Amino acid sequence: MLRNRLLDNIHQCQRLKSLSLSTAAEIPKEFIKTVKFRTCINVYDELRLRLPQFYRKSPTEGVDLTIDYVDTQSNQKPKKTIVALHGLADSYRTFTPLIRHFQNRPDVRIVVPNFPDFSHTRATNYSFWHSSDEKYQLLQDLFRILNINIIDCLVSHSFGSQPTSALLQKPQDLQIRSLAMIAPQFLLYNLSDNTYKISKLMLLMSRSELLSRLLHRMKIHQSKHVPFKFTNIDEYFHLSTLVLDRQAFKDSRARVQSINAMKLPGFIMYSSDEKIISKLAQQELYKLLNINDDQAIHIDRDDPEIFASNFSFNNSMKKIIIKDGRHLPHQKCPNIVNFLIEKLINEC
């Protein structure tokens, strides 16, 4: 009971923050919804064997989570459904331009869930650790609640590509018709042993409130060695959970190859100045998907008129390179992204 009250209190604070930020970002409040549900039933039996240091308290009967999500047509039966998945330590706000573009379309439903953050790890008594297995099951359970069984375009940004590939590999009753992968991070190369050891140590320390406060005061989350500058230590802990997802590292190539075998239409979008994901990892991804360098479409301005009037995906994956978009090409060129996704759902 105490744990449930803690989770509810934390979520109320997060929701107030989320609503104020989303209003500033111009996502209408009526589209921001909340759902509480039990997920990850029978998921933790294997995870306890794989990582007992972290999952020893994770119950077979799963965990109760409360998350916010955007849903533009929850009471309608639209012709097309778009689902967008954000990356690690991010939120649905990263897709604000996409939401705004489709929000008034009665024929299109766009659903963008917030994945749990590190406060959920604390509130579930350190049971939920943000692995691809947990996120996959969370999404399957959420889609059942929202009556989603067909996704006309599955959009992902950064590490959101991991649960995307898991859904494609094990769709169950889900049908996915096209893909939009923006700055996808498939972990095709292992992290260094040093990064793994430091991150694992940080996560072990996260269990202590005293140590967490100390690390926050030391501003570890704003260290020059951290690729992102976070506002608090929990955001850094959340990023560090990536090292626990070693099975995702092992499965990445097989998952990407399964995407290639499906022959789904879609696009992969990186920026010319992408710093988070190495050129080596990008080239390996293109290789696994049989996409050649000469197939790249280079975009230097946010204007769909760049594309020929007869542009079509023709059931293939397109390689899109955005000039100077860094790790957020969808925010650098939102009109390009909206145009491409609209093309995809119209052709599906």
The neighbouring-strand residues paired with 271 are 322
Q: Is the pLDDT of residue 14 over 50?
A: no
Delimit the domains of the chain by residue range.
2-188+247-347, 189-244
Amino acid 83: pLDDT? 98
Hey, what are 117's tokens? 């953050």
pLDDT tens per residue across span 74-129: 877 889 999 999 998 899 999 999 999 999 999 999 999 999 999 999 999 999 99
Fold of 2-188+247-347: Rossmann fold (3.40.50)
pTM for the predicted model, two decimal places: 0.90
Q: Which residue has the higher pLDDT, 250 or 288?
A: 288
Residues 6+ apart with CB under 8 A from 52: none
Distances (CA, A) of 316 to 83, 257, 263, 313: 20, 14, 6, 6
Under 8 Å between Cβ of 132 and 166? yes
Amino acid 196: pLDDT? 82
Do strands 317-322 and 153-157 pair parallel, antiparallel, or not at all (unpaired)? unpaired
Average pLDDT over residues 303-315: 92
Under 8 Å between Cβ of 337 and 189? no
pLDDT tens per residue across span 173-230: 999 999 999 999 987 776 777 888 888 999 999 999 999 999 898 888 888 776 667 8
Amino acid 227: pLDDT? 64
Amino acid 228: pLDDT? 67
Residue 63 CA to residue 46 CA, distance in Å, equals 15
Under 8 Å between Cβ of 34 and 66? yes
Q: Which residue has the higher pLDDT, 14 or 128?
A: 128
The highest-confidence range among 196-200, 231-235, 240-244, 321-325, by mean pLDDT, is 321-325
Under 8 Å between Cβ of 340 and 268? no
Q: Is the pLDDT of residue 300 over 90?
A: yes
